[in-house]
Amino acid sequence: VFDPGDTLPSSILQQVKSQASDRFQPVPLNSSWWFFLAPGQKPFSNLYARQAVLAAMDSRALSRLDSGFMSPDCHLIPFGIVGHSSPAQCPFHDPTGPPNMTLAKQLMAKSGMTGQPVTVYGEERSPRRQYLDYYTSVLNSLGFKATEKVVNSGVYFTTIGAPGAKPQTGFADWNQDFPEPWDFMNLFTTSAGSSLNYGLVSDKHFDAGVAQYSQQPTAKVATNWQALDQYGVQNGYYAVFGHEAKPKFYSNKLNFNAGVMSVEYLTDVTSLQLK
């Protein structure tokens, strides 16, 4: 069994698809991947600077770094969760297409943040290190003076989530604990604290919406969750670049159809059966 927690290199992926398609399947997870931005400190205290980042992001490029397992989007709530919005509703550009660099440059000019230093946090393991490299290059292309801060993956999230860390921007992701929009949107509330809300977003409207909608039947307030997610995108609180699938790839000695890929726990080893 291939460990779905690892990345299947694109060169091997093509071979798998051509020679073992009957025992391979990409399984979408309820997960979101993004770069956080700190609205409480320069340069991302400026709304236009945050929006410029979203306009300049090429989610397709980031998906290629993940061998195509990332489905481009700008919204925090994943495709499999009630309250998700279509990528076509992304305000700065269609994430399934090229970035809008013309708009990004215009927003940067309005921001007055050109030349501002930015430290960009990311993990050392692949492809997360490549995400960091790409994102840093985008920030520099916008006119920031961005430098990388590479952190060991084993301590990455405790490092950026430490109360005194206050990172300006960096990589983050989340896999569902349970299939509710609150599980994702709560990450950007004031009450989440630095251990989850890495950019220390603090917005009373966002907080109130999450608190209110989480107390009501999800299906009843699905459009409210959509609107709140869109509000978060419009304000540049998160630069989401996609939702990931994981490879289900088995040996030819196993019963592929019997195997279960859990959204939370990946390969369910109790479901594995020899032919």
Domain boundaries defined on the chain: 10-271
User: Using CA atoms, how far apart are residues 187 and 196, in angstroms rounded to an integer?
Assistant: 6
In 124-264, the DSSP E strands lie at: 145-151, 169-175, 238-249, 260-262
- Is 264's pLDDT higher than 90? no
Question: Is pLDDT at 182 greater than 90 in this prediction?
Answer: yes
Distance between CA atoms of 64 and 111, rounded to whole angstroms?
A: 30
Q: In the structure, what pLDDT confidence band is assigned to residue 240 with cuts at 50, 70 and 90?
A: very high
pLDDT (tens digit, 9 = 90+) per residue, 95-130?
999 999 999 999 999 999 999 999 999 999 999 999
Q: Which helix (H) or strand (E) holds 28?
A: strand 24-28
CA torsion angle for 99, 105, 108, 109 (degrees, to 10)? -160
User: Which homologous superfamily is 10-271 in?
Assistant: Dipeptide-binding Protein; Domain 3 (3.10.105.10)
pLDDT of residue 263: 83
Reported confidence tier of residue 9, pLDDT bands at 50, 70, 90: confident
Six-digit token string for 147? 């430098």
Dump pLDDT digits (tens) for 212-231. 999 999 999 999 999 999 99
3-state secondary structure of 248: strand
Q: What is the mean pLDDT of residues 149-153?
A: 98
| pLDDT at res. 11 | 84
Match 């989007």 to its residue by tokens. Answer: 73
β-bridge pairing 145-151 and 117-123: parallel
SS3 273: coil
pTM above 0.85, yes or no: yes
